[in-house]
Amino acid sequence: MSYRTVNQQFAAKIEAESGIEEEIDPVADAVKVRSPIQFTADFERIETDYVTGSLSRSESETGGGGGSTQPSVFLRGSGEPGVPPDYGKLIRACGFSETITASAITGTAVAAEAKSITLAAAASEVDDIYVGMPVLLVGGAGQGQIRVIAAYDGASKTATVNAPWEVTPDATTEYEIPANVLYRPVSAGTETITIHTWQHHNTAGQPSRRRRLMGAAGTFSLTGAPRSLVEMAFQIRGILPAKPDDVPKPGAPNYDAGMPRAVMSAASWLGDRPFKWSEYSFDLGATVDQGDDPAAEFGYDIAEVMDRAASGRITAAMTLASTRDAFADWLDGKPSSLWLAWGKTPGERSSIWHPRFRYTGNEQSDVRGKAAEQMPFESRAADAEIFICLF
């Protein structure tokens, strides 16, 4: 008997102190990732270049290094509104904050305009606290509409939304900002993570091969299409605290109950217009580096996010230029925004919002015989390249 690729287990935990390996509970800290789990030891190869009296080069030596892993997940909620998903710690390790709104924020609108709604007196007085969260109109005028909050003024309790209302709310409108977990980029207070993986033997009673990372940080990309699941692929690197070892097989993991949902019945807004699209991709473009530490066993310090150069691409159905002129917007440097939201069950709904991006090209494309255009973009708004809200 041997090892099987799919017979693996993955667990992770945010470090209380960066670079100090956390005690991992393989059951409680489990993360449901896709197969295969790729784990790579990245060590430097040093050429000795000795003079040997031969044309054959001398043997090289192995220098210092670290480890990396490339887990992927499907974007989804935990199954319980306001509770982070098990993979949320991987997002945090990519230089993101996590904001938990444990209970829905509800009320009756005080007033509204074409692109705003004034919330009830009990709403927060903190500016922009609801930015990136969806707001649903659940009763009264405009019932059934959903938008994402683009700005919030705490003094007036007015939420500006991403696009005009089809039916403007009024004093009869009941609204809800659902319980949710919100992730957004930060430039201070970034975190690192400890990761353990286990490759199980196919023979009962045999130990598992364990691999470990600590002081790890990373980046991610997103890909999605209508009727498909949105995949989130991570690249995470960090300190290798020890060589892989054989350990007793851990207990069965305890995963979230939440299920990923295909992109259907979705809200899709490009700027202030709804649109039809065929492909979406996003690359956070974070540069992750490890400093030198000669005192460390393998010579490297913790991993840190050094900068971000986020970019993406949308493939959308061709329209009249009077409806959408992405070519002109590209040449003129005109900014736009993008919001995608899907899922029907609370706790399993997802929202991706790019509040500001600029096109970096325009290409003709074909989608099963229908004319389309590919619109690459860069998303460089400071600490606002992307908001991911799970609600």
What the block records as the tokens of 204 is 């009962």
SS3 150: strand
Q: How confident is the model at residue 2 (pLDDT cuts 50, 70, 90)?
A: confident
Question: Phi-psi category of 79—alpha, beta or left, where left has phi over 0 and alpha has psi -120 to 50?
Answer: left
Give how far Cα 363 sits from Cα of 105, 193, 199, 316, 326, Å: 42, 39, 44, 11, 10
Residues 135-151: tens digit of each pLDDT: 999 999 999 999 999 99
What the block records as the tokens of 69 is 């892993």
SS3 116: strand
Q: How confident is the model at residue 244 (pLDDT cuts 50, 70, 90)?
A: very high
Mean pLDDT of 224-235: 98
Give the number of other CB atoms < 10 A from CB of residue 122: 9
Name the nearest CA neighbour of 289 among 235, 234, 237.
237
SS3 326: helix
Residue 80 has pLDDT above 80, yes or no: yes
pLDDT at 13: 98
pLDDT at 85: 98
Q: How confident is the model at residue 114 (pLDDT cuts 50, 70, 90)?
A: very high
Maximum Cα–Cα distance for the chain, whole Å? 91
Q: Tell me the pTM.
A: 0.96
Residues 254-287: tens digit of each pLDDT: 999 999 999 999 999 999 999 999 999 999 999 9
Name the nearest CA neighbour of 195 among 72, 18, 43, 13.
13
Residue 1 has pLDDT above 70, yes or no: no
DSSP states along 151-207: EEETTTTEEEESS--SS---TT-EEEE-SEEEEEE-SSS---EEEEEEEEESSTTPP
- Phi, then psi, of 285 in degrees rounded to 5: 65, 30
Name the nearest CA neighbour of 215 among 187, 185, 191, 242.
191
C-alpha 68 chain-centroid distance: 18
**Which residues lie below 8 Å from residue 176, measured CB to CB, with a gap of 6+?**
104, 105, 106, 135, 136, 138
Residues 318-344: tens digit of each pLDDT: 999 999 999 999 999 999 999 999 999
Residue 49 has pLDDT above 80, yes or no: yes
Q: Measured between alpha carbons, how far is 165 from 115 in angstroms, rounded to an integer?
A: 6
Residues 19-44: tens digit of each pLDDT: 999 999 999 999 999 988 999 999 99
Residue 3 has pLDDT above 90, yes or no: no
Q: Are 291 and 254 in contact (CB under 8 A)?
A: no
pLDDT at 5: 87
Instruction: Return the percentage of the chain with pLDDT > 90, whole number.
Output: 96
